[in-house]
Each structure stands twice: as structure tokens, then as C-alpha cells.
Amino acid sequence: MIGVFDSGFGGLTILQNLKKALPDYDFMYLGDNARAPYGSRSFETIYRYTLESVRALFARGCPLVILACNTASAKALRSIQQQVLPFEFPDRRVLGIVRPTAEEIGKFSTTGHIGIFATAGTVSSQSYLIEISHFFPELKVTQHACPMWVPIVECGERGTEGARFFVKKEVEALLAKDPEIDTVLLACTHYPLLEAEIRAALPPQVRLVFQGDIVAAKTVDYLKRHPEMDSRLSKRGGTSFLTSDTAKFFEKGAFLFGMADISAESLTF
Ligand code: DGL
């Protein structure tokens, strides 16, 4: 199976794109709901939680794990890839979602000015700035943290006046930092669910970029380039769900992220 990890529910938005692009593959999703959100946690904590989750997915038969969480990708991926995999799991792979997005984002802009909305943790890690500078050194990148947006989604407040207020506030703050921005990246798993509010607040000429499509296309490409990994992945088109919270909590909350009628299994690390 392809393991898909997120701090909680947000990675379900990425999982949906992956399933569309790879309908025959089997996926195992793990949400660390009991310890979410990760957005404002320290590097050490995010690393520890993410590594525990990756180990759990490895133990359940996933040779490939995608960290479908920007915060975990930004803060834990590199250490896992460099300090853990070569010594303990030389035949397993962990991929993140920051780098594949960074490889593409510059292609969307004509002014050469882009904006990024993300959690405080992703912004402070500077991961996007560092990765994008490798591929598009001329691009002017302005980041903006939106700490209210994850709770707005998780509390089911999409479409309300409160949601519109907090989205408009952050959109205006980003554009005030750089009015030449013509492309905005949603670099947090939850933000695509606020698409309507974000589009309403952005000037019409500003392009909105979603990560799910990019990550799915890059994963397809990765599997083509790595047939040795591809051949180890089961292909029955199934998806199973694990959560560090109760199964009931996950099954109920996943509904807000477009996944109804699923059954989950609870795990303890
Ligand atoms: N999944 C996280 C991300 O993409 C958002 C939720 C959280 O803060 O845990 O950054």
C-alpha cells in the first residue's frame, strides 16, 4: 500500500487527488488526530510525532509513505530521510509535499511574484522559500500564516460570515505585503476547503494553485521512474483509514473533508 500521513484530517484532501490519479492502487491513510493540529508545534515534537506515524505505516506494510501534511513535510521529512531511512529502512521511501509543489509553482506566475498561505509552522520553517529558490531563483515569494483557517474548517464554519471575515483579513494582509502577487499557493491541506471564501476575497486576476493536483501528478511520475517501488505496491483500488484518536471521531470528522461512510481503525503508538 501507499501510506498517506497527515496530522489529522487535512491530508484527506491530498488523498482524494492521489486516488483519482492512481485509481488501481491501495492506500492506507493515517491521521494523527489525537495530537493535531501540528501547525504551531515545535520542530522536535513534529519530528517525533511524524516519525512514530511513519513507523506505524511501515509496520502495516507500506513501503512508500507520503507526508500529505505541509507542516510535517517542512519540519520532519529531511531528518527522517537523512537520519532514519538509510540506517533502519534502506528499502523504504518517505516523500513530502513541499518539494514537488516548489518544483512547479513558478510556472504559474507571469509577474514573478507569488504568495503562499500556510500554517505558522510551515512559514517559520522557511521550507518553501528554500525549496523554491532552487527551482525559481528569480521568483519573489511572500508567505503569510493563517492560524484561524484550520479551526474554521475543523469547526464546520465554512460558508459563514465569520469564515469570510477571517479569510478576507488574511488575503488583504498578504496582498498588502506584495501587491504584484498574481499567483497564490494554498500550502496547507485544509485551505482548499475555503476556496469559495478565498476566491471571493482575491482580485479576479490572481490565480489560485492547489497542491493536491501537483502532488498526485508528481507521485504518478515518481512511480514511473521507480518501477522497483511500483512493483511492491498492491493494486486493488482500496483505501483503509487509521487514526490515533477513536475510530468514531475520525469517521465523523472525515465527513467535513469530503469522505462520508468510511470505517476507520484506532491505533496507539
Ligand atoms: N495538515 C497541516 C498542514 O498541511 C494543517 C493542520 C495542522 O496544523 O496540523 O500544514
SS (H, E, C) 10-77: CHHHHHHHHHHHCCCCCEEEEECHHHCCCCCCCHHHHHHHHHHHHHHHHHCCCCEEEECCHHHHHHCH
Question: Catalytic residue numbers?
Answer: 69, 188
Burial class of 80 by CB neighbour count within 10 A (0 to 12, 13 to 18, 19+): buried
Question: Which residues are near ligand 1 (CB < 6 Å)?
Answer: 6-8, 10, 36-39, 69-71, 119, 122, 150, 188-190
Determine the residue of 42, 69, 153 to mutate for testing ligand 1's pocket, defined as the one with the most ligand atoms within 8 A of the Cβ atom.
69
Per-run averaged pLDDT (10 residues), the chain, 269 residues: 97 97 98 94 96 98 97 96 98 98 97 97 94 98 97 95 98 98 97 97 97 97 98 98 98 93 94
Q: Give 70 Cα–ligand 1 centroid separation in angstroms.
A: 6
Using DSSP's 3-state secondary structure scheme, residue 181 falls into coil
Instruction: Report the separation in Å between the CA atom of 5 and the middle of ligand 1, taken as the mean of its atom positions.
Output: 11
Would the pTM of this model clear 0.85, i.e. be above it?
A: yes
Check: CB of residue 5 under 8 Å from CB of residue 65: yes
CA-37 nearest atom, ligand 1? 9
Give dist(CA 208, CA 185) in Å, integer. 6
Which residue lies with its CA nearest to atom 1 of ligand 1?
A: 69
Given its phi and psi angles, is residue 61 left (phi above 0), alpha (psi -120 to 50 degrees) or beta?
Answer: left
pLDDT at 40: 85
Residue 34 Cα, ligand 1 centroid: separation in angstroms?
13
Residue 205 is given by DSSP the state T
* pLDDT number for residue 269: 85
Of 5, 7, 116, 152, the one to substitute when testing ligand 1's pocket (max ligand atoms within 8 A of C-beta) is 7
Closest ligand 1 atom to the C-alpha of 118?
Answer: 10
Give the pLDDT of residue 143. 98
CA of 27 to the centre of ligand 1 (A): 20
Which DSSP helix (H) or strand (E) runs through 227? helix 227-230
- Looking at residue 68, its pLDDT comes to 98
**Per-position b or e across 31-67, b if 16+ CB within 10 A of its CB:** bbbbbbbbbebeeeebbebbbebbbbbbeeebbbbbb
- Read off the C-alpha cell for 40: 504551531
Instruction: Collapse the DSSP code of 129 into the 3-class scheme (helix H, G, I; strand E, B; otherwise coil) and give the result.
Output: helix
Q: How far is the centre of ligand 1, averaged over its atoms, from the C-alpha of 114 (Å)?
A: 21
